[in-house]
Amino acid sequence: MLFVPQGANDFSAVLSYGTTRPGTTANFGTSITPGTGAVYGAYSQVGNDLTQDCYGLLINVNNAFSGGVFRQIAIQIGVDYAGGTTWTTIAQDIMVSQANNYAGGGGAWLYFPLYIPAGAAVAIAGRSSVATTFGVNIRYMTAPPNPTMVKRGSFIESLGITLGTGTVTGTSVTPGTTAEGAWTLIGTTTKRCWHWQFSCQHSDTTMTALNYHVDIATGNTTTVGDPKDIITSDAYVRTTGSETFEVSPLVTGVEKTVPPGKTIWARVQNAGTNENAGTFQVVVYGTGG
């Protein structure tokens, strides 16, 4: 089932940028200064304290790239339930490398159905291969007509990501061209997750403009030939010649219950010729609770 967070029938109000004019420059939203070593940088609050209960975060990351450079970035989400600045990390290791400018394609969008009560504050921290800032803005999905019918997530499990000192690495997946690429094992769930999201990066300093379709699935074993149960199919992502990724929020967030101990897989198909074998990387996120 495709999950479209902006649906007017799902949420009666969205808390976002208010009257802020759309950005005409690279950054839009809160400027995040990342850490460049083995730890995240300081948290920065995104938006005002919540005035209503929130049932989902639609996160936009932008200006997270540099032309001719493989810029690696991960973020984590923090909450102060009292509306202060003492942050409790509720999700970490979310790969957002190479997100495009807000004015040059919108950047990367990620949706997580996390429940955060009214009165809380939400912040983002980052870690990167360089200290250059990037932009983050969040739309808070609130006021559903029937709150008891809305699933409430409390955690995010990140699968297939490895963080080093100034490095962010996903799981290498070789895209197919005229046929689907081979299934690649991303990781194994440790908790029951019911909402799925992914992100990609390309560890290349000279990317070209290409379109990709990404499939995510679950299986029973670590055997490549094991029958796969598709979670999402043909989700669209795009690279540009400026070493950027663009990810739409309308194709990546899908609800499917997967118990702990299940393997998660990805395969990719490319519209053109593959660039530098082993450079296309995928990370998958399961939300549960």
Q: How many CB atoms lie within 10 A of CB 73?
A: 25
Contact 199, 94 (CB under 8 A): yes
Q: Please provide the DSSP assignment of the chain as one string.
A: -B--TT-TTT-SEEES-TTPPPPSSS--SEEE--B-SSS----EE-SSPPSS-EEEEEEEEES--BTTB---EEEEEEEETTSSS--EEEEEEEE-TTBPPTTTT--EEEEE-B-B-TT-EEEEEEEESS---EEEEEEEEE--SSGGGS--B-EEEEES-EE-SS-EE-EE---BSSSPPPPEEEEE-SS-EEEEEEEEEE--SS---EEEEEEEEEESSS-TTS--EEEEEEEEEEE-TTS-EEE-TTTT-EEEEE-TT-EEEEEEEESS---STT-EEEEEEEEE-
Residues of the chain with pLDDT under 50: 1-9
Output the pLDDT for position 249.
62
Output the pLDDT for position 207.
83
Its CATH class, for the domain covering 13-149, is mainly beta
Contact 283, 199 (CB under 8 A): yes
Output the pLDDT for position 110.
92
Output the pLDDT for position 153.
94
pTM of the entire predicted model: 0.91
Domain ranges across the chain: 13-149, 155-288
- The reply to whether 155-288 shares the fold of 13-149 is yes
Q: How far apart are CA 208 and CA 106, in angstroms?
A: 18
Output the pLDDT for position 24.
60
Output the pLDDT for position 221.
78
Output the pLDDT for position 250.
57
Its CATH class, for the domain covering 155-288, is mainly beta
